Amino acid sequence: MSNSNHSSPGTSNKILIIPSASDFHIHLRQDDLMDMVVPRIAEGGVSLCYVMPNLKPPITSTEQALAYKDKLEKLESDVTFLMSLYLNPDLTPEEIRKAKAAGIVGVKSYPRGVTTNSDSGIESYKVYYPVFKVMEEVGMILNLHGEIPSDIEQDICVMNAEEKFLIHLKELHADFPELKIVLEHATTKAAVEMVKSLGDTVGCTITIHHLQLIVDDWAGQCHNFCKPVAKFPHDRQALRDVILEGHPRFFLGTDSAPHPAHHKECAQSCAGVFTTPLALPYLATIFDSFNALHMLKSFACENGKKFYNIKEEKCREIKLIKENWLVPNSYSFSNTQAGIVVPFWAGKTLTWKIDSN
């Protein structure tokens, strides 16, 4: 399958044909919210996703991961779900070997308190070196939420927490050069440059919303608020530039993270942007805006699977057509008035849509 323009650029009947996308960072939640989100994955043009483990309680064992995977597969059989464990003090080398044998793909590290459901996160990496050593041996992925906690005395806040984290990424790679490490949801030029400077075992996900947002777009706008926060215009440009460059170690991880609207529209807004139902239409619209449609297939459909060494059986052909249409204002997940999620760019115009015919 290949990109195919059946008419001149800019015309209303422009067509783009690509394989279904792979989302290497997604939050699928629990209970009623999970029941709404999971069937929306395929609707957004995605057929494979790497599932984050920060549930309540977090997924810390092989048995928990497999039980969660079973729930997901019962909700959506046309999607491949790759599972992960939550890095925590009780995780042992023996559990890593058990997880690998059961098909668990990786382990996610959350610095304590920096994002949703991260209260059980890590404070120091050194104590996990025996775990990382076995992960390196058996071929599991280490996924890093690349921020350190805010610290007033050290002049650290949400705007520089990612850049301050990067020395840890460099050290981990130096200490475990054969361990595949993914820096998740990069938001800064510094992160892009660091990943590019390291070896082939270091990859990086980029979200949909960070390709569009800058700090002005989330300050005071709760439905654009996520962590890590969007940064400066030059940082967004660095994300776009590395995609235009076609760098093979950068790939899609939406970090789509739905919250009930009343948990976003409040004094202390939850961090998270919901993009799952419209993943490819969002991407095509944004890529088109910076003349990157020719890189959509590699970024969203190929690079991640190559880095993870995943062969997918459920991939299908997606036809995108150039047509203006509006993002829904909300998605319902229960019969109560509070049971709605507001998606990214709610009520705004997208210029590409998936042809459902």
25 belongs to the catalytic site: yes
Give 260's strand partners. none
- Spell 313-323 as b/e; 16+ CB within 10 A means b: eebeebebbbe
Which of 69, 185, 209, 297 is catalytic? The answer is 185
Q: What is the DSSP code (8-state) at residue 256?
A: B
Which of 145, 164, 209, 264 is catalytic? The answer is 145
CA distance 269 to 259: 10
CA distance 236 to 177: 29
Which of 25, 180, 209, 297 is catalytic? The answer is 25
Q: Sheet with 21-26: list strands edge to edge.
A: 21-26, 46-51, 80-82
Q: What is the DSSP code (8-state) at residue 271?
A: P
3-state SS track over 212-257: CCCHHHHCCCHHHCCCCCCCCHHHHHHHHHHHHHCCCCEEECCCEC
CA distance 139 to 48: 20
255 belongs to the catalytic site: yes
145 belongs to the catalytic site: yes
209 belongs to the catalytic site: no
Which of 100, 108, 173, 180 is catalytic? The answer is 108
Pairing of strands 202-206, 181-184: parallel
Longest dimension (CA), the chain: 58
Which of 14, 23, 223, 255 is catalytic? The answer is 255
262 belongs to the catalytic site: no
CA 28 to mean position of chain CA atoms: 11
| 304: enclosing H helix or E strand | helix 303-308
CA distance 139 to 131: 12
Instruction: Please name the amino acid found at residue 104.
Output: I
Give 16's strand partners. 320
Pairing of strands 331-332, 340-341: antiparallel
173 belongs to the catalytic site: no
CA dist list (Å): 155 to 149, 244, 266: 11, 34, 27
Q: Is residue 240 a contact partner of residue 233, using CB atoms and an 8 Å limit? A: no
Give 144's strand partners. 109, 183
Active site positions, annotated: 25, 27, 108, 145, 185, 255
